[in-house]
A and B are shown apart, each in its own frame.
Chain A
Amino acid sequence: MIEVRNLWHVYEGRKEALKGVSLTFGNEIIALVGPNGSGKTTLAKHLNGLLKPTKGEVIVDGMDTRKYSVAELARVVGYVFQNPEHMFFEENVFKEVAFGPKNLGLSEKEVEERVKWALREVNLEGYEDRSPYSLSGGEKQRLAIACILAMKPKYLILDEPTTGLDEKNAESVKKIIRNLHREGHGILLITHEMDLVLELAERVVLLYQGQKVFDGDVEEFFELDLRKYDLDKPKLLKISEKAGLGFVRDVEEFVKALEMRT
């Protein structure tokens, strides 16, 4: 359980990025949405201790983030950054994935097992000897997830995991997310893509100007007037509403509902 209690964050004594945000989450897929500069990243960086609260507190499985280093919190909360290239520095994929678990001080055998497991989880088996920089965009994104996954964190924060990926790669990232959720991981998605929210999320948290303005399930979320927050409804939902089919989560559901009607 991650608990955020009345969190305030002020950058360099001036810019108020977060103004009293409270949030509790466990093993669920939460989408953290909001326009640029609404405080999404600031909030996410508090969850693994990269940022410390100016006021309020963040408790991760009973640990106050102010009292633990990022490296210690990394065992529990994994953070996959937006640009995978910002973390690659080893000569091959195996060493790259092994970096995290090695930092946790695990035995060589354990590290190897975890690397194999993580690569299998993201479908990158057989890539062990490739250079991380030689991979394609989608493979890099999956490798980035594997690097964090190998540390076996209970919670996973993914920053724009499907942005810039083609359909096939985006689909495989979504599949990975669903799998991890089934295995009991709590997942926080930071995203601008409303389609992704519609398809994956169980719960949506909407930030606007540093404050939480919505926290609830997906169907309710899409009933809000999203234009007020510089967001928009997915096309699929608009079509389905026009067709009188109500709320659907993906094309498959839409087609099924359509067939049911005729």
Chain B
Amino acid sequence: MMYTLYLERDSLIHRLDPRVKIIGSFFGIVALILFNSPLLLFSIFLLIVSTLVLLGKITIKEIFKALKPIIPISIVAMVIWPFILKPWYFGLFIGFGYGIRLLSVALLTLGLIMTTPQRDLILGFIKMGMPYGIGLTLTIALRYIPTLYILAQTIMDAQKSRGLELEKGNFIQRAKNTVPILIPLIVASIKTAHELSIALESRAFGASKRRTFLYNIKMKARDYIALGIVSALFFLAVYARYFLGIGYIELF
């Protein structure tokens, strides 16, 4: 079972400050939107993959596994273009670029999650100005995914013991069969959330506006260098796109 996408490794990317990784991913996504030349987009995609593999010690197999759910969507994005653009092979070519762009955006986000522990990621966002309440909500939501998964298993077992057949039947029957699972699950979740809010309040949550952190993050020289490189690359991309006119194909 997969609790989280995070992969424990000892790599340069893993050691970077989460803020650098967040800004880097953001720049990457913006850069991907700037261009529409399929060849350039494909090169950026390869650049992201090789960065993750070489600097993040993530294997190609793991990248493929993470991207698998996105592949159908990107194929749809690809095959739509030949209907819009003529001639069809030009449309397919552009569509290929759009498909790759989608995959790249997903890979950047996934790469961030794969190389940063949840705690650091949320701390990074909070340090960048996200309200603590939202950060905490996110942490709790992520923390409760495995708990709810186990709860769902228990409820399924309980209903199976009452003769509920989960494996049999057509699509509609199967959809109907989820009701006896979903209702107890929702009720239990709401109860847990309510108890959690009481527990938080009884531990003086929200008593002071500015809170301190037991575990803190600090930007090191390495992080500033990485931030410099990422920013330089980003401004280079903007310069290339708007002043040199590279990487953009006029479509209409």
Quick one: closest B residue to A79, CB to CB?
B161
Q: Are A86 and B158 in contact (CB under 8 A)?
A: yes
Partner of B163, one of A81, A85, A151: A151
Listed residue (A45, A70, A74) with the most chain B CB atoms within 10 angstroms of its CB: A70
Stretch of B24-32, B100-108, B176-184, B233-241 that contacts chain A: B176-184
Interface membership of B201, Cβ < 8 A: no
Interface membership of A163, Cβ < 8 A: no
Partner of A86, one of B154, B164, B167: B154
- Tell me the count of chain A residues lying within 8 A, CB to CB, of chain B: 25
Q: Are B183 and A148 in contact (CB under 8 A)?
A: no
Q: A69-B167, A86-B154, A86-B188 are in contact. Are A81 and B183 (CB under 8 A)?
A: no
Interface membership of A89, Cβ < 8 A: yes
B148-161: contact bitstring with A at CB < 8 Å (1 yes, 0 no)?
00010011011111
| Cα–Cα distance between A74 and B158 once the two chains are bound (Å) | 11
Interface residues of chain B: helix, strand, loop or mixed (majority): helix
Interface membership of A65, Cβ < 8 A: no
Stretch of A27-35, A99-107, A171-179, A246-254 that contacts chain B: A99-107
Quick one: closest B residue to A69, CB to CB?
B165
| Cα–Cα distance between A17 and B164 once the two chains are bound (Å) | 26
Quick one: closest B residue to A50, CB to CB?
B157
Contacts of B2 on A, CB cut-off 8 Å?
Answer: none
Quick one: closest A residue to B160, CB to CB?
A70
Interface range for B: 20 to 34
Interface membership of B162, Cβ < 8 A: yes
Quick one: closest B residue to A100, CB to CB?
B162
Contacts of B155 on A, CB cut-off 8 Å?
Answer: 86-87
Quick one: closest A residue to B157, CB to CB?
A50
Q: Would you list which residues of chain B between 171 and 212 have a CB under 8 Å from chain A?
A: 179-180, 182-184, 187-188
Contacts of A148 on B, CB cut-off 8 Å?
Answer: 161-162
Interface membership of A133, Cβ < 8 A: yes
Q: Top 5 nearest A-B pairs by Cβ distance?
A: A103-B163, A89-B183, A79-B161, A70-B160, A100-B162
Binding site for A on B (CB under 8 A): 151, 154-155, 157-165, 167, 179-180, 182-184, 187-188
